[in-house]
Amino acid sequence: MKTFKIKDEFYLNEKPVKIISGAIHYFRVVPEYWQDRLEKLKALGCNTVETYVPWNMHEPNEGEFNFEKGLNLRKFIQRAAELNLNVILRPAPYICAEWEFGGLPYWLQKNPNLKIRFDHPIFLEKIEAYFEQLLAQVVDLQVTHGGPIIMMQVENEYGSYSNDHDYLNKMADLMEKYGVNVPLVTSDGPWGDMLENGTIPERALPTINCGSKITEHFKRLKQFHGKKRPLMVMEFWIGWFDAWGDDEHHTMDGEVAAKELDDILSQGSVNIYMFHGGTNFGFMNGANYYDRLTPDVTSYDYDALLTEWGEVTPKYLEFQKIIGKYTDIPKVELTTTIEKYAYGEVTVKNKTSLFNNLDNLSEKVVNNFPLTMEQMNQATGYIYYQSDIGKAREIEDFRLIGTNDRAHIYINNHLISTQYDLELGNPTAFELTENENKLGLLIENMGRVNYSVKMNHQQKGVKDGVIVNGAFQSGWEMYSLPMTNLEKLDFSKEWETGQPAFYQFELEIDTIGDTFIDLSGWGKGFVSINGFNIGRFWEIGPQQRLYVPGPLLNQGKNEVIVFETEGKVTEVITFTNQPKLDK
């Protein structure tokens, strides 16, 4: 049986070992490609794989747990073990990861008394219920039981959030209570007070996250340790993520990154973040908020060593050369055949308005004031509010109060304004011309903030109310639209120009492979293929095409549904074999 210990160095089977790890998030990769990505990791020269665990995917609604199919963490770890790869597990509760709400489940916000990421009894109660289920999936896969898991992380980058060491110790207590007995680690930035804030050195090895100036940061870590302990960069950032509206796809020079890797390995161990980024499928992208909201794009390519679609990059080869200085590079046979296909143009088959399908997709909720997504038991997607606002007259003061993130405002199903982020709450004036007038609000959750102080205020939809001529409007009908039941759409119902609408396409193919959807001429929305939400698109870029893994396609007919909110559409979409991450 293997052993793993942290002393003055890392020791595997009582011998010093340099951990050379790469990050792969199993939940960002279709499970049919786990083997391929892990084989390419091993072929790089890595001996370890690291992954986060997203609480919000494994417990999407409180008390409902999912560890099946693409969320089968146990199977992912077992695949790694079959390749003789060690595993570093980072089980949350918070992961950041540019992921919706940093991996925290939306339903935590339903309780106004709950304080996230603090020593708070309600929060700890929720975490314990989750850890009891999660850790049961993996405890027998620890190295102490003959498995591949050598370390687990307590929380994540906590030093940039708070300094509640009681909370961190209680996280470690819970992990140990449910069977964790491998060494524990923490990871934080090496700047300011982050190491002091976010570590419990007597219980967990402090490691650092950074992308440059390694020698300087290792010096700081040595000083913090105060004695000889292993030096490790738990997240060696070799690229960066993209947000909607960025000028270009973020990249990092491969030679520069390889030099930093050499500096790390000359003194310690590394986890490359990201080895393979993958995709923010569905509505699971996160967002940052400093001076404004910056939601992340669907691609999590990250300029990683493997592209979003799994191809080896020149940076991979640069890193392989450096790793070869410190360990033998194994010969690995790649066992998964992956081809890319250009299936060409497909013309729209059917189309129908959202407004004519509200009752098909959602059960109407009536209330005297608007409810948030959280109050409607909804995690992601869209929510539609409507209210009768009376006779013809001038509306001189119209405002959305406490609303997130992007709102289309309609009168009698005609768009009068779109407000996004900082624009929300700005006064709007308009004229009602009919004897009876219906106000409609289509509001999109663009991705809950995954980092820093704004995490405490991530309710989506309308929280406080809607002002009409100086007073709060009452009498609301609401439709929850997570867009998980598109099979209920009725395409025989009318389509109307300029309205948010669904477009049905039929892709017929003889050979299955990876492809990319080009949505040139389309405005904003998301794409579903055979019932699987591929992710969002938005003409502002930088991402211009959506990656479609081959395993999501069927030989023969495939149903493609595009939902578009801006009324900016064409009659075709194109399936190409070329990605496009830049404008």
Per annotation, catalytic residue among 50, 100, 157, 374? 157
- Cα–Cα distance, 309 to 18 (Å, whole number): 29
**46 and 187 co-located in one domain:** yes
Contact 526, 285 (CB under 8 A): no
Assess if residue 393 is contained within a domain: yes
Confidence of residue 582 (pLDDT cuts 50, 70, 90): confident
The amino acid that residue 490 corresponds to is D
Based on the domain organization, do 127 and 274 belong to the same domain?
Answer: yes
Tokens of 4: 């793993």
- Is 332 domain-assigned? no
56 and 205, same domain (yes or no): yes
Q: Could you list the residue range(s) of the whole structural domain that residue 511 is in?
A: 344-352+500-576
Tens digit of pLDDT for each residue in 515-552? 999 999 999 999 999 999 999 999 999 999 999 999 99
- The answer to whether position 166 is within a domain reads yes
Q: In this predicted model, what pLDDT tens digit does every residue of 317-352 receive, in sequence order? A: 999 999 999 999 999 999 999 999 999 999 999 999
Mean pLDDT within 463-491:
98
433 & 528 share domain: no
Assess whether 439 and 554 both reside in one domain. Answer: no
CA-based nearest residue to 501, from 533, 525, 536, 532? 525
Is the same domain home to 398 and 374? yes
| Mean per-residue pLDDT over the chain, rounded | 98
Examine residue 493 and state whether it is found in any structural domain, yes or no.
no
Q: Are residues 117 and 222 in the same domain?
A: yes
Q: What b-and-e string marks burial along 356-374, b requiring 16 or more CB atoms within 10 Å of the CB? A: bbbeebbeeeeeeebbbbb
Catalytic residue among 100, 235, 308, 564: 235
CA dist 148 and 81 (Å) reads: 6
Give me the amino acid identity at 332: V
The answer to the question of residue 389 being in a domain is yes
Question: According to the model, what pLDDT value does residue 232 have?
Answer: 98
On whether both 232 and 150 belong to a single domain, the answer is yes
pLDDT digits (tens, 9 = 90+) for 17-30: 999 999 999 999 99
Cβ neighbours of residue 534 closer than 8 Å, sequence gap 6 or more: 281, 298, 517, 526, 527, 528, 546, 547, 548, 552
Distance CA 258, CA 212 (A): 11
367 and 348 housed in the same domain: no
In a domain, 13, yes or no: no
Active site residue 394: no
Residues 151 and 93 in one domain: yes
Q: Specify whether 444 is catalytic.
A: no
Residues 111 and 30 in one domain: yes
CA 473 to chain centroid, in Å, comes to 35
Domain count, the chain: 3
Token reading at 517:
């959807």
What pLDDT, in 10s, does the model give residues 255-297?
999 999 999 999 999 999 999 999 999 999 999 999 999 999 9
Residue 114 lies in a domain: yes
CATH number at residue 123: 3.20.20.80
Per-residue pLDDT band at 583 (split at 50, 70, 90): confident
Task: Please report whether residue 486 resides in a domain.
Answer: no
- CB burial class (10 A; 0-12, 13-18, 19+) of residue 185? buried
User: CATH number, domain at 435?
Assistant: 2.60.120.260
Domain co-membership, 270 together with 419: no
Whole-number Å distance between alpha carbons of 251 and 435:
56
**Nearest one of 513, 493, 510, 524 to 576, comparing CA atoms:** 513
The DSSP result for 460-508, as a single string, is: -EEEEEEEETTEE---EEEEEE----GGG--TTS---TTS-EEEEEEEE
pTM of this structure: 0.98
pLDDT at 92: 83
